Each structure stands twice: as C-alpha cells, then as structure tokens.
Amino acid sequence: MNYCWKITIFELSLFIMHQTFKSLAIIIFIMKQQKFLRLVSEMLKNSKKSDRELAGILGVSQPTVSRTRARIEKEYIKTYTIIPDFKKLGYQIMAFTTAKTKTYPETSTLEKVIEKSKNWVAKRPNVIFAADGEGFGKDLIIMSLHKDYSAYTAFIRLFAMDLGNSLDNFESFLVSIGSGYTLRDFDLKYLAEDI
C-alpha cells in the first residue's frame, strides 16, 4: 500500500515551530537550573553576600536573585550558621565515635532505642552530627567536640552507660584541634566547587 501524505507548508511550519519551542523550553530550563546551582554555589562560598553582589557575579538582575534565594532558603537551606575557630572557643578534640548495634530488635523495640538515642544526643550540645551508617563493622557514628581529654572520656563513659544495652564495640578516632597536620580546615565552602 502506498500512502500519500499531504502536508501543507503551513502545517510543516507549525510542526517545526512546535519542535523549536519545545527545544527552547528545555534550553531555558537547563539555563535556569545552571543559574540556580551557581547561586547555591556562591552562597556556600559566602552566604553574607548581598543579592546585588550575587546578581553581579551571576549576570542576572537583583530581583531574580532575591526570588531565587527565597526559594533556596525555603526548600534547600536547613539553617544559616558560622563555622568558628574551635580552638579559640576552647575545644581541643574532635571525636568520631563509632559503635555497633548489638542485635536488631523487632520494630517496636527498635523505635524505642532510636528515640532513646535521639534524646541522648539532643541533650549533648557538643554532638554536631550523629547517624546510622555502615562501614568498618559499625552501624553508628557520632561526631563531637570536647574541651579536653577528660571531657571526652566523661562523654564516652556516659555514652557506654546510657546506651550500652543496645550498642557495643565503641571506637573513636580523635583529632587534636590546633596541633598536628591539618590538610584542609573544616568548612562547607569547598562543596561550592562540586555543585
């Protein structure tokens, strides 16, 4: 069978225009995403920059930066904070403490253990990160800061006494703040280059 397609110049023009607009829409979306990510990157480098400064860097209008920043703050930023010089604040030790769950209890018991652990961590402002994970035969990590070794040992003792029924095999990696070799200071600005 032979089919004869009759397409008018007008219909062909409409089809080409439709495809062109679809392509343009995709290009505009990609460009917006790139500017969005560049703004996030600039904010990681220095969140104190004004919208006007950011607009100049990105080559967009200040109102565009203000609208985009509002969206970023609403959807992507958990909190604004500083990263202080821990040594000047009196901290001498950064500890990465790992542990292993003794057994995996049934769901209702596990939820109680998780809630107890969350409450324990919430009462310790020197704990700056805690999560479950996997590696080195462990499934929990806690990142904490300590004024001195005595404060660290008291922390570990309480950790073992309060959570020892459900956790086992505690180990820590200690970083002496302000002495030894620092290959890169702790800062989130480095992520700006990875976005």
Beta carbons of 169 and 99 less than 8 angstroms apart? yes
Task: Take residue 190 and report the two structure tokens written for it.
Answer: 């480095």
Residues 147 and 115 in one domain: yes
pLDDT digits (tens, 9 = 90+) for 108-117: 777 888 888 8
CATH number assigned to the domain comprising residue 55: 1.10.10.10
Residues 171 and 105 in one domain: yes
For 192, other C-beta atoms within 10 Å of its C-beta total 16
Q: Which residues contact 10 (CB under 8 A, 6 or more apart)?
A: none
pLDDT digits (tens, 9 = 90+) for 41-79: 889 888 899 999 999 998 889 998 998 889 888 988 888
Question: Residue 58 belongs to what domain range?
Answer: 9-75
- State which H helix or E strand residue 69 sits in: helix 62-75
Total domains in the fold of the chain: 2
